[in-house]
Structure 1
Amino acid sequence: MPVDSTQAAANAGLANMVTNPTATASNADKDMFLQLMVAQLRYQDPMNPADSGEFLAQNAQFTALEKMQAVADQTALVLGAQMAFGASSLIGRQVTYTDTAGKDITGTVQGVTFENTGPVLDVDGTQVPLVEVLSVKNGAAATPTTTA
């Protein structure tokens, strides 16, 4: 009984996902795509081979997908760096945030911690995620006095 190339690749992809459950969805998609292409080549009819133009188009699509994923990864890194620099610039400034009781609290940012979920501000001893900040004002720095 001949095996359909799509079915063979799908079976191989499922076996890979079962044996390697820690693989990410992106890696699983790449592996599945490559396994489909290999299965198409392996199980093609020798008297009616696959169109090389179609094969090249699939390869180009795969390459474009990898490049777009790399751009998305780099963009995420840039966004993280911008958030880190923005949070660091808040040290010494007054911020307003809403506490768990729903009350607006104002305090001075004493420091910043960088967590996996994003920057967390130390506002007068309270840990406040940056995304919960409602407003920012200049700190309580004394204004310079001039003497005549």
Structure 2
Amino acid sequence: MPDAVSGAAPVATNTATTTVDRGDQMGKDTFLRLLVAQMKFQDPSNPADTNQMMSQTATFTQVEKLQEIAKQNASMLALQRSSSAGAMVGQTVTYTDDSGAAATGVVSSVRLGSDKVEAVATVDGRQVPLGRITHVGKA
């Protein structure tokens, strides 16, 4: 929310995370192969419960859709981070320097980070991690 006095809005920084594929999780292809094998080798005199099969398939579909949503959210977060970083250029910021003291300067550029590298703003020629910026205002 904008500050009534200075017209500045606080900027929160979030680090995007990625998902890690675990070896103990079943993938889509593995699930489908197991389902086909189960149907192929079932006993004709004692067929598998179709309700249970449908339930498993529906659960798998839900998980697949949730994974798609998570990927879309990650893309939206990256776009939002890029937009926020671009809006900081030319703004006066207050940040905490290496000694812990508050310092102020004008942002000339912002380098977006990755999962392993924090985003950094260039403030009056100094490299300042975005996490150290405490206030953003008009230049």
Q: Same fold (TM over 0.5)?
A: yes
Deviations 1:56-84 (A, max 9, x none): 22111111111111111111111111111
Partners of 2:71 and 2:23 in 1: how far apart? 12
Q: How does 1:108-119 map to 2 (within 5 A)?
A: 108-117=106-115, 119=119
Alignment-derived partner of residue 37 in structure 1: 35
% identical equivalent positions: 39
The structure-2 alpha-carbon separation of the partners of 1:61 and 1:99, relative to structure 1 and needing over 3 Å to count, comes to: same
Partners of 2:24 and 2:102 in 1: how far apart? 44
Structure 1 residue 33, shift from structure 2 partner: 4.0
Partners of 2:47 and 2:122 in 1: how far apart? 65
Partners of 2:131 and 2:46 in 1: how far apart? 59
Question: Structure 1 unaligned runs (5+)?
Answer: 1-22, 140-148
Worse-superposed segment, 120-129 or 76-85 = 120-129
8 Å Cα contact 2:120-2:127 kept in structure 1: yes
Does residue 1:88 correspond to 2:97, yes or no? no
**Bigger relative contact order, structure 1 or 2 (CA pairs below 8 A, ≥6 apart):** 2
Question: Structure 2 unaligned runs (5+)?
Answer: 1-19
State the TM-score, normalizing by the size of structure 2: 0.69
Q: 2:47 aligns with which of 36, 49, 55?
A: 49
State the TM-score, normalizing by the size of structure 1: 0.65
The structure-2 alpha-carbon separation of the partners of 1:106 and 1:54, relative to structure 1 and needing over 3 Å to count, comes to: same
Alignment-derived partner of residue 16 in structure 1: none
Alignment-derived partner of residue 68 in structure 1: 66
Partners of 2:121 and 2:135 in 1: how far apart? 13
